[in-house]
Amino acid sequence: MKICIRVAAAIFAAVLLAGCTARGAGEEPTSSEESSRTNFTVSQEEEPLQEEPESQPAQEETEDLLLPLVRSGIAFYFWETPSQIEGVGLGYFGFLKLAQQNDMEQYKDAQTGMYHIPCALLEEQVMKYFDIPREQIREGYNWYQPDGDYYEADAAPDFGNTIRMIGQKETEDALTADFYVADKSGRILREVRLTLQKEGEEYRYASCHSVNRDYYGNCVSMDIALLGDDELIFEKSTDIPSKQLFAFAMYIINQEGIQRENWEAWQGNIPLDVIEQALSCYLGEVYFDPEEIENYDPQNQVFTGRMIGGFGGARNARIVSEDQAENVLTLVLDFCDMQDDNKVYYTKTYKIQINGESYQYLSIAKQMPEN
């Protein structure tokens, strides 16, 4: 039985698809005009991040507070409380905070070139800024060496990311900072709202609402992940076959970290409603028949033993044009030879509807070069 999924997009990564709900079968799709009128907010209590606010470089003091969060990767996903932050990010954060204050060469092993940082020293830095137990830093952080009571770490990677402030609001006990994360070329990667609690003269990180603005990066990674029969090319989302829809939804829940965060609770099975909500968030109106998918259990409404990940490969994608009319972005990419930008294998045109803090793919076209 095909299910019509037609809920307009909401913030997919926030607390396991909070705000996206698939409707039942038998309903007719809404028009794109109707779905485009939906407004989205961070929560019922706070104002949404602005769509295209002006920004400026961060002040040195603010940058010192925010940049380790960006370079450790902690600002690149949504977390409501510090208990949801991954250990590897916390470890990198501790390394970066120590590097702001110390000569890290004193911790470097001359033979291996790795840094051996005493556990108490690194964990003290992390726990100073996050209300978490030290076990959270050690769990999932594969450089923790219990026998030597130290962390063995390489230098935290610096991808040249910069911060551009949108604005900030300070109260007696909290600070809210809105900012962009940009790459070294200036392209916006994320839009972030960070909340910090003030304790005396110090700040502790409380929550992070991070919105992906790197449409280019998403299109390139999708081209790597969805190959062959799974490649997503369509004029209308309602015409996409169920097997392609399923592959796309699995890609989305992997990219957003939803699968990783809930795999144990799901006991190796993917719930049908998670697939439906991923589709409604990123494609809008679709017709999906779960019974066309192998290993679907209709009684429990789950896909048994399904997992996706470990995407390999690379793409040399060049932006041909990037035009936006109202809330629709048209992005044209040439996919080129890795060594020769002039050798174009194919061109893809993406039409993306930007809905406040989320977006939907309206169409994806592929054109082969003329011989």
Task: Give pLDDT, residue 48.
Answer: 41
pLDDT for 164 beyond 60: yes
Supply the range of the domain harboring residue 198.
41-213
Task: Give pLDDT, residue 40.
Answer: 20
Residue written as tokens 């769509």?
A: 51
Beta-bridged to residue 209, according to DSSP, are 193
pLDDT for 195 beyond 90: yes
Do 274 and 370 reside in the same domain of the chain? yes
Average pLDDT along the chain: 78
Average pLDDT score over residue span 61-68? 83
Do 307 and 350 reside in the same domain of the chain? yes
Task: Give pLDDT, residue 159.
Answer: 63
Total number of domains in the chain: 2
pLDDT per position as a tens digit, 228-273:
999 999 999 999 999 999 999 988 887 765 655 565 566 668 889 8
Average pLDDT score over residue span 296-304? 90
φ/ψ of 326, rounded to 5, equals: 55, -120
Q: What six digits make up the tokens of 307?
A: 């997992």
Does 219 map to a domain? yes
Domain of 112: which CATH number? 3.10.450
Average pLDDT score over residue span 331-351? 93
Q: What H or E segment, with its residue span, contains residue 354?
A: strand 344-355
Average pLDDT score over residue span 94-100? 88
Does 348 map to a domain? yes
Do 162 and 82 reside in the same domain of the chain? yes
For residues 222 and 232, the answer to whether their CB atoms sit within 8 Å is yes
Task: Give pLDDT, residue 4.
Answer: 57
Query: In the structure, what pLDDT confidence band is assigned to residue 129 with cuts at 50, 70 and 90?
Result: very high
Per the model's pLDDT, the better-predicted residue between 243 and 147 turns out to be 243
Q: What's the pTM value of the predicted model, to 2 decimals?
A: 0.57
Show which of 188, 213, 238 is a domain's final residue: 213
Per the model's pLDDT, the better-predicted residue between 21 and 132 turns out to be 132
Do 47 and 178 reside in the same domain of the chain? yes
Do 106 and 236 reside in the same domain of the chain? no
Q: How many angstroms separate the most distant Cα atoms in the chain?
A: 68
Does 182 map to a domain? yes
Do 129 and 145 reside in the same domain of the chain? yes
Do 108 and 197 reside in the same domain of the chain? yes
